[in-house]
Amino acid sequence: MGISMTLTEDHADFRATLRAFAREKVAPGAAARDRDAIDAADIFRELAAMDALGITVPTEYGGLGLDTTTLVIAVEELGYADASVASIFAGHYLGMEGFRLFGDEEQKKKYLTAMARGELRAAFALTEPDAGSDIGSMRSTAVREEAGWRINGTKIFISSAKEAGVLLLFAKTDARAGFRGISAFIVPTDTPGLVFSAPMDKMGVRGEHAYEVSIEDVVVPLENLLGPEGAGGKLAMDVVNPSRIDAAALANAIAMRAMDLAAAHATNRVQFGKPIRDFQAIQLALGRMDTLIEAGRLVTYEAARLKDEGGDFRRAASIAKYVASENGFNVVDQALQIHGGSGYMRESEIERLYRDCRLIRLYEGTSDIQLITLAKGVTSRFDARGRLF
């Protein structure tokens, strides 16, 4: 694919290593993890042994100090083999990013180093039953007391919450200030007062567990505030923005796997005396799929490049998330169509990919939220009279 032209030799070597691991160790168990909703804790440990859990973490905190492009490659290779494993992997990075960006030196040494080494699994606890895209409406509260911060509330759809060792948890320290009243807290998952539901029964990405978390008079030390008080809303957005690049990479990975399966099926399936790949309708579908995937990958790698340059990559990340997730779903739908009835059966890998890819249009900001974000950027160039600045 054309995207390979932008990669260095080090990128290519890293891809080869992760690809071999993913195809040999991850892919064979993907169907069973989906069927039985099994968390891939064993694979998480193996990734830790490969130093793959600290790709973008600075070397002084136990990471590899590599670029976002390398992380995108890792998500692609793991996602091609199993979306659940890639989602666990990306979710760990989502939790770590807050520590990398906003942790003080002591917090980084204590938590980020352990996370980069795979000794501590991270989870990101932001969403609430009444606070999804509108995080300013969250109801969880944190009150400063002599003993520490006393936190109460409820979180929902929190990936790997029970499997993690620590939550990056958001709550309001000023209930009247909306978005600006949110603060971020480091909450170890063995803290008294945390109550986890059973794993939620998801349609797809079933090998990554999601939970409802009840927070009942949870007390953490004052030093467990991450970043300044009241800066949690900004912190959350600064963490979610790069995670949209990871989500885009996962959508691309699922789409690439779906296209390969569709091409193989079209080669093996014979109708009217010849493989169905020889029919123009199938050729047109495969051509569209290839185009959609390449477009998704190009905007994803461009967003990764802009992030690493240190500029404002928010627009690029939203574009990548929107294009890749929407294109990816279209690709998987076309792949299922090429498979016909066999693709609709539960034993078909395409059926699993169809369920898995649907989630990516919802999390880390829905497709509609990405468009609204982009539209604000477009209209901001004009004054109240419609004149271009």
Helices marked H in the chain: 9-21, 30-36, 41-49, 68-81, 83-102, 105-107, 113-116, 232-268, 280-308, 314-339, 349-358, 367-379
The answer to whether 364 is a known catalytic residue is yes
Question: What angle is formed at CA 71 by the lines to CA 263 and CA 121, rounded to 5 degrees?
Answer: 110
Alpha carbon distance 255, 253 (integer Å):
5
DSSP codes joined into one string, 147-181: TEEEEEEEEEEEETTTT-SEEEEEEESSTTSGGGG
Alpha helices in 210-278 (DSSP H): 232-268
3-state secondary structure of 8: coil
Catalytic residue among 163, 208, 212, 364: 364
CA-wise closest residue to 357 among 23, 7, 34: 34
* Amino acid identity at 7: L
- Collapse the DSSP code of 202 into the 3-class scheme (helix H, G, I; strand E, B; otherwise coil) and give the result: coil
Q: What 3-state DSSP class applies to 370? A: helix
Adjacent-strand bridge partners of 150: 143, 219
Where in the sequence numbering do the catalytic residues fall?
Answer: 364
